[in-house]
Structure 1
Amino acid sequence: MSSYQKEIIKIKHRGREIYGVSYMPNSKKKCPVVIFSHGFNGTNIDFAMNSDYLAKNGVGAYCFDFCGGSINSKSDLKTKEMTIFTEKEDLSAVVETIRNWETVDQDNVFLFGGSMGGLVSALVADEYVEEIKGLLLLFPALGIADNWNERFPTLKSIPDTHELWGVQLGRTFFESIHGYDVFDHIGEFNKNVLIFHGNQDEIVELEYGKRAEKLYPHAKIEVFPGEGHGFSDAANKKVAEMTYEFVKANI
């Protein structure tokens, strides 16, 4: 097991700043890297265990806080200013920045997204097919637009603010996905995709993961029996191991 450097690295773009933590192996040669995107109201810490596991095994990682992505975010913006598309801009800026790091093998940059971060990672992968080597999705929230459009069927029905799980969302969040079909904007990514999904997920139905698997030319879904939206420690450990195996198999 080699040691690694853990460092806070901030990325500026569009007049805002992203707070992130890099986990880079102490290696003379450039290494592959996995960019982790957290879910709704999550932070970079959500994937600290996964990043530690990768870095100890020679694969770099970068975990960051989406701008306005959480009440605990260390990045800019308020939660009321965040949309799926501001998060997409954040992740795109991260991809463009990290590919140019001296320690990173720019041909081997992978995206890993959990829940809403999975949706955002899938959207970004479709626009950065050349730059991204592989995509990993952990119970990706591909139903977000469907769910909210059902809840607020007309633009008039959208409130100025709406609280979800203790997080204040602004009108812009809902307006930006009004009439938006996620499945029209994913599936072009033609490299390998690995989807992790529990069969007891009550937030994002397993059907969404299965539908994504069919849509991508090279996707595989790993169904975790008994797991919900948020995995047990044992399942998370398996995800970390499978992420490492996926990177190794694809570089």
Structure 2
Amino acid sequence: MGSYKKEIVKIKHHGREIHSVYYRPDSKKKCPIVIFSHGFNGTNIDFAMNSDYLAKNNIAALCIDFCGGSINSKSDLNTDEMSIFTEKEDLCAVIEHVKSWEDVDPTNIFLFGGSQGGLVSALVADENVEVIKGLLLLFPAFCIADDWNNRFPTLESIPDTHEIWGVQLGRIYFESIHKYNVFDHIGKFNKNVLIFHGDQDEIVALDYGKRAALLYPHAAIEIFHGEGHGFSEAGNKKVSDMTCEFVKANS
């Protein structure tokens, strides 16, 4: 196992700043990198264990705090200014930034997204096929637009603010996904995709993961029996191992 350094990196774009944590292997050569995107109300810390494991295996990792992505975010914006599409802008800006880092191999940039961050990573990968080498999705929340469009079926029914799970969301969040069909915007990414999904997920039905796996030309889905939306320690360890193997196999 190799050693690594942990650094805080600030990335500015669209008049706002993203806080991120960079796990940089002590390697003489340019390393592949995995950019981790957290889920709803998550932070960079959610993937600290995965990043530690990768960095010890000479794979760099960058864990970002989406702007307005959490009540605990160290990035700019309030949660009621965040939407799927502001997070998409954040991730695109991060990729642009990372491509020029001298210790990163720009031909081996991977995206890993959990839940809402999985949806965002999938949308970004579809528009950046040339740049992204592989895509890893942990219980990706491809249900978000469907869920909220069922809740607020018309533009008139969308409130100015709405609180869920202790997070205040703004009109932009719901309006931007009004009548939005996620499956029209994913599936073009023609490199390898690996989806991790639990069969007891009560937030994102397993059917969403299965449907996405069929849509991509080169996707595999790993179904974790007994796991829900948020894996056990053993489940997370397996995800870490499989992520490391995936990056090595595709680099």
Q: Deviations over 1:10-45 (max 9, x none)?
A: 100000000000001001100000000000000000
Task: Identify the residue that residue 232 of structure 1 maps to in structure 2.
Answer: 232
Match of 1:195 in 2: 195
Structure 2: which 5+ runs fail to align? Answer: none
For residues 1-251 of structure 1, what are the structure 2 equivalents within 5 Å? 1-251=1-251
Secondary structure in structure 2 of the residue aligned to 1:54? helix
State the distance in 1 between where 2:24 and 2:126 align.
Answer: 26
What is the rounded CA distance, in whole Å, between the counterparts of 1:242 and 1:8 in structure 2? 26
Q: How big is the shift at 1:197?
A: 0.1
Partner AA of 2:18 in structure 1: I
1:177 Cα deviation (Å)? 0.3
Which secondary structure does the structure 1 equivalent of 2:132 belong to?
coil
Residues matched between the structures, number: 251
Task: Report the alpha carbon displacement of residue 99 of structure 1 after superposing the two structures with TM.
Answer: 1.0
Deviation at 1:195, TM superposition (A): 0.1
How far has the Cα of 1:2 moved from its partner? 1.1
TM-score (norm 1): 1.00
Q: Distance in 1 between matches of 2:14 and 2:35?
A: 20
- Give the secondary-structure state (helix, strand or coil) at the position aligned to 1:183: helix
Q: Identity of counterpart residues, as a percentage?
A: 78
**Separation in 2, partners of 1:161, 1:41:** 16
TM-score, length of structure 2 as denominator length: 1.00
Shift of 1:74: 0.2
Q: C-alpha separation between the residues in 2 aligned to 1:172 and 1:59?
A: 36
Aligned-partner residue type, residue 103 of structure 2: T
Matched position secondary structure for 1:133: strand
Name the amino acid aligned to 1:139: F
> What 5-or-longer segments of structure 1 have no aligned partner?
none
- Deviation, 1:9, is 0.4
Separation (CA, whole Å) in 2 of partners of 1:27 and 1:71: 35
Amino acid at match of 2:129: V
* Runs of 4 or more consecutive aligned structure 1 residues displaced over 6 Å after TM superposition: none
Whole-Å Cα distance in 2 between the matches of residues 215 and 96 of structure 1? 27
